[in-house]
A and B are shown apart, each in its own frame.
Chain A
């Protein structure tokens, strides 16, 4: 301790000339004293090099100056391109990771949509190919064009145009209603308009339009507006009509509420990724099961050894949930809004989620979703209830089969 005190005073500049001389003399002969000097210098140097402590972050400086209505110092301006928009800069700085992720996801989704929808090259549009193979009426002579003749459908020019527009996207025979077909056979002598009236009454869910004649035999086609919109679309990967099952892969960028003060030491390999399987009970309503890898920022209190502690952690969770999704009856440019509620659990507690988003289906077997999701984890520690909340930007792709 004596050496420590002497060296301490020396570094502090509290030794007089005589004491310093004595110290230098002793330094030459005492390893212990030299070691002590080295150690104290090392401590001082280490503290001097504590750049983290001595450097206020630019975000703090900008925040402070903007709250006072000042322009931040130039040293901070250099690191922030738009000092005047400090609020915006703070926002961008704070949510940089999420925003970058969102932008990338949007770009990837847009690229995929662009690729799949193929706005150029009309002749190569798969919709047309699908049309050619799916709407060929019975009795079409081999070698003839696959494109149905307009005059074979109706004598009414306006109606003809209407049918061509709608029929070409689907496999027509699938939509012929058996009941209706039987009814048609038994009432062959009735006029087409009478048949339509009868069928409309027997099928409250859909209106069948006038018969189409092919090869001398009357054929009946439904009003395609009553068919789910996705069924009107062509397939990209999976032929035939969807069975109502979907597999969804989802990614997300999340923001904890309140913001996390500590980060996971390691993130799961599949962090913020979800896999869900849905079944469509109706065209608008579907339910599904999902498994997801995610983190929640938890802040809770506990008593240990008589001391009260506040814990903060952000562990990785594997969560399981049941999703109920409802697609709202609005369709704008093929984009449908939807809402989803979910209930689930993790090893820590129960999870409730609410999600609103948009679904875009360029093909009947593939859809893209983009939305916002609020998640709440309810958990307990030492019997006391706590919760953790977060908001996520969700993006994903669905394969419908």
Chain B
């Protein structure tokens, strides 16, 4: 009978994944289903380039699988995944020069969504590119990945207070950049 892996805890899934039997594939799939959206959101918003984000995103899960099979450090799964993603993204950004896409201004508008939200989202995405990376990353980890301040602090290697401060400062800067738009929105 097929197991319902969605009820399993992360630890149990990791145990199955390491067991190297037929169930390990199902366990990996369940972990992927649980956390792929967060990892993808992190990669895409940190790199702000879909193609690069796709490459890093796949690499994150491949490395995760390899690490788990080899020697999984006892930690929480989403945090571990984001750490891998962060390392890969930082390495990638370090190796890569500043990139400016002259015509890369396509606006992604999901037809099923509120247009105003899409427009605001586009502005937020643009604003994220204009703020310092440390603030941007903290904001993404908090708002996109819903990590706690403790987790953010651990991933970024900073104190919890510092993590809170970075998230708040990021929000302030984003609001500052979006101020004209937000004012218009409030007056509607």
Contact = CB atoms under 8 A, between A and B. Distances in A.
Interface of A: 1, 4-5, 8, 35, 38-40, 42-47, 49-57, 59-61, 63-65, 67-68, 70-71, 73, 75, 261-265, 301, 307-314
Contacts of B101: 261-262, 311-313
Contacts of A311: 100-102
B135 interface: no
A311 B113 CA distance: 32
Interface residues of B, number: 54
A47 B143 contact: yes
Contacts of B58: 60, 63-64, 67
Nearest to A35: B186
A39 B65 CA distance: 40
B156 interface: no
A68 B62 CA distance: 7
B130 interface: no
Contacts of B171: 4, 8, 40, 43
B46 to A, nearest CB: 10
B97 A64 contact: no
Nearest to A301: B97
Which 5 residue pairs of A and B lie closest in terms of their CB atoms, listed nearest first? A53-B41, A46-B120, A54-B37, A56-B40, A46-B121
Contact of B97 (A44, A51, A56, A308): A308
A264 B103 contact: yes
Contact of A73 (B32, B37, B65): B32
B98 A45 contact: no
B15 interface: no
B99 interface: yes
Q: Which of B44, B101, B103 has the most chain A CB atoms inside 10 A of its CB?
A: B103
Given A45-B117, A56-B57, A61-B36, A261 B51 contact: yes
Interface string B78-121: 00000000000000000011111111111010100110011011
Contact of B33 (A46, A49, A53, A73): A73
Given A46-B120, A68-B62, A314-B103, 5 more contacts: A46-B118, A55-B37, A59-B54, A261-B104, A262-B102
A264 B172 CA distance: 35
B109 to A, nearest CB: 10
Contacts of A73: 29, 32-33
B124 interface: yes
A39 B127 CA distance: 15
21 contacts: A4-B171, A4-B175, A5-B168, A43-B124, A46-B117, A47-B144, A52-B44, A53-B40, A53-B44, A60-B54, A68-B61, A70-B28, A73-B33, A262-B101, A262-B103, A308-B98, A309-B98, A309-B99, A309-B100, A311-B102, A313-B101
Contacts, number: 140
Nearest to A74: B29
B102 A313 contact: yes
A13 to B, nearest CB: 11
Nearest to A69: B25
A63 B57 CA distance: 11
A5 B102 CA distance: 37
Nearest to A52: B108
B143 A44 contact: yes
Contacts of A308: 97-98
Contacts of B182: 39, 42
A42 B49 contact: no
Given A44-B143, A60-B54, A310 B97 contact: yes
A261 B58 CA distance: 18
Nearest to B37: A54
A61 B32 CA distance: 9
A43 B29 contact: no
B98 A310 contact: yes
A173 B23 CA distance: 83
Interface in B110-156: 110, 113-114, 117-118, 120-121, 124-125, 143-144
Contact of B28 (A38, A39, A68): A68
Contacts of B29: 65, 70, 73
Contacts of A264: 103
A39 B121 CA distance: 13
B174 interface: yes
Contacts of B62: 64, 67-68
Contact of A56 (B36, B106, B108): B36
B158 to A, nearest CB: 17
A366 to B, nearest CB: 40
Nearest to B106: A263
Contacts of B125: 50
Q: Which of A8, A53, A263, A309 has the most chain B CB atoms inside 10 A of its CB?
A: A53
Given A53-B41, A73-B33, A265 B105 contact: yes
B30 to A, nearest CB: 9
A218 B98 CA distance: 84
A45 B114 CA distance: 10
B44 A47 contact: no
B121 A47 contact: yes
B17 to A, nearest CB: 11
A262 B104 contact: yes
A312 B25 contact: no
A52 B186 CA distance: 26
B70 interface: no
Interface in B38-69: 38-41, 44-45, 49-51, 54, 57-58, 61-62, 65
